[in-house]
Chains A and B, each alone.
Chain A
Amino acid sequence: MNIPISPPPDNHLSSSGLSFERVSLRYGRDTEILTDVSFTLNQGSLNFVTGPSGAGKTSLLKLMYLHMRPSRGLINVFGHDTALLNRKDIPALKRRMGIVLQEFRLVDHLSVFENVALPLRVSGRPRREYVDDVVSLLQWVGLGERMGAMPQTLSGGEAQRAAIARAVIAKPDILIADEPTGNVDHEIGVRLIRLFSELNRLGTTVIIATHDLALIPDTANVLTLRHGTVIHKEAHRGSSS
């Protein structure tokens, strides 16, 4: 069953959306990490993946951001069947995604500004064109005074905001965040979720994995995993399907 997303597109699968159809994932010969997972996320939706530790949230996200291939099933990203994807097509699709990982992954020898500007630099845009965009975004996430700081000097919350800024600077179609509040206190966690909601209001499809149910806003769609299977889908809170 698909999670109904505000307003449903004319065709079943939006080219900016993401869908899983009976997807399973197995590492080597071990037990399946994910089993028969199916859902569709449409463009512009705010989505949360929840479940206890070991439920398969991170693995599900890895499949979404094309870090690994499923053992079985069909994944469709931006209208592309990932089973048919050539390896050389992956970078172009990944550039349409913003990814925030629990461990931030800021480059130690680059300043906050350079870390955030990295996706634009890699895409080959002239520096003069994006300096203002990076500065504006850093001010928006509250790092206006920390642009020249090195990652080692940032607090957990600052580092997480820098990682989020880097993920959204290139205006991705989808933002995928794995436990973005895992390393910060509740107050900063709430502020980060507010930041994600704000990005979502600007049109970005947002997918966040978290085990902290208290952080999920009422307007979000929720996918609950346990032992690698989807046990609950909820289109906005209160109306489960």
Chain B
Amino acid sequence: MEAHHKTWLKQEALLPADKPRDNPLFIVLAILAFLATLSLLSLKVSYQAAGHWSANLNETATVQIKPDATSDEAALVQMAQSAKDILLKSPNISGVDILPKAHSQALLRPWLGDAPLPDDLPLPTLLHVQLRPGQTLDVARLSSAFTAANLRVDIDNHAHWTKDLNRRARAAQLLAVFAFFLISVAISAACIFAIRAGITAQRKLMDVLHQIGAAPSYTARLFSSRFALGGFKAGCIGALGAFILLFLLSVFSETTGSDNYFIPGFAIGLQDVYLSILIPVFMALVSAVAAWHTVMKTLIAEMYS
């Protein structure tokens, strides 16, 4: 009998891996996890970008000093300095930078190309105004002060840009949320479909368990733990793949650089890995709940009817 003890102590799995049936499901779930992670990280990037845009535009302003036909270089420098002095007197403003002429020229490059600009081309002098956090620009008061100082100035407090960009950012956020929601629904649907197929394949086991008096919750637990583990593994692989891809894109976009002020790069860092961990956990949870619900529904419907 001792020999039998040794032989039979190892317990066989009640619900063993069914590779021909499990592998396609595993691949589908891994792809869904990949897409879900992309969607979730995109959601994070779009929120971050929206915040970045809003903060940048809300807390800055641009003052443009228009040259006239008689203004020479020295007069323009003098006007810029006068404008800066007026601006710095405002308590809402924390700093003012007079931007070099090259900056104005760079702004024309997308329209005029890289060819050298004529020296006598009248270009405005730009002042970058940094506001104190939470403060707004008192445009009316500043305009009066500039008029009094005989300066021809345009003040752009970025309000119209902020409104437009915030609207676009919100649209991008909604799109990411919607995509994430759709992918979540697809994951749930794929799990339910696969579980039904799994139940069909293991119908005999279910019937036997029912015959010998196993509670439906016992059978449901068997299936839900199996599918939860499968969902978690597939989720890990998909999420890791998506994270690595986005992280590399992030590193790549940082090293190549960009002179576009309004489109932030992929701001994915190692600190965002926690978001990727959410996906396999979510997939395990969805798989477990879907399996539990499907098995319980099937068994209870057939039990003593």
- A residues with CB within 8 A of B: 65-69, 82, 85, 87-88, 90-97, 99, 101, 105-111, 113-114, 118-119, 121-122, 127-128, 131-132, 134-135, 147-148, 166, 170
Contacts and interface: CB of A to CB of B under 8 A. Distances in A.
A111 B305 contact: no
Interface stretch (B6-14, B27-35, B186-194, B238-246): B6-14
Interface size class of B (residues with CB under 8 A): 20 to 34
B305 A131 contact: no
Q: Which 5 A-B pairs have CB atoms at the shortest separation, nearest pair first?
A: A95-B213, A94-B213, A91-B215, A122-B214, A119-B212
Interface stretch (B45-53, B153-161, B202-210, B225-233): B202-210
B303 interface: yes
B4 A132 contact: yes
A128 B208 CA distance: 23
Nearest to B207: A105
A37 to B, nearest CB: 18
Contacts of B204: 105, 107-108
A148 B7 contact: yes
A91 B210 CA distance: 8
Contacts of A96: 213
Given A105-B208, A107-B208, A91 B304 contact: no
Contacts of A121: 11, 14
Contact of A87 (B7, B9, B211, B300): B300
Nearest to A132: B1
Contacts of A110: 12, 14
Nearest to A65: B211
Interface of B: 1, 4-5, 7-9, 11-12, 14, 16, 204-205, 207-216, 218, 300, 303-305
A131 B4 contact: yes
A135 B8 contact: yes
Contacts of B303: 87, 90
Contacts of B14: 110, 121
A95 B214 CA distance: 8
Contacts of A135: 1, 4, 8
B34 to A, nearest CB: 32
Contacts of A109: 12, 16
B304 A131 contact: no
Given A106-B208, A128-B9, 18 more contacts: A65-B211, A68-B305, A85-B304, A87-B303, A93-B213, A94-B211, A99-B211, A101-B211, A108-B204, A110-B14, A114-B11, A121-B11, A122-B209, A127-B9, A132-B5, A134-B8, A147-B4, A147-B7
Interface centre among A94, A106, A108 (most CB of B within 10 A): A94
Nearest to B5: A131
Contact of B12 (A93, A111, A119): A111
Contacts of A95: 212-213
In this complex, which of B4, B7, B16, B210 has the most chain A Cβ atoms within 10 angstroms of its Cβ? Answer: B4
A97 B213 contact: yes
A139 to B, nearest CB: 10
A119 B208 CA distance: 10
Contacts of A82: 304
B223 to A, nearest CB: 14
Given A90-B303, A109-B16, A118 B208 contact: yes
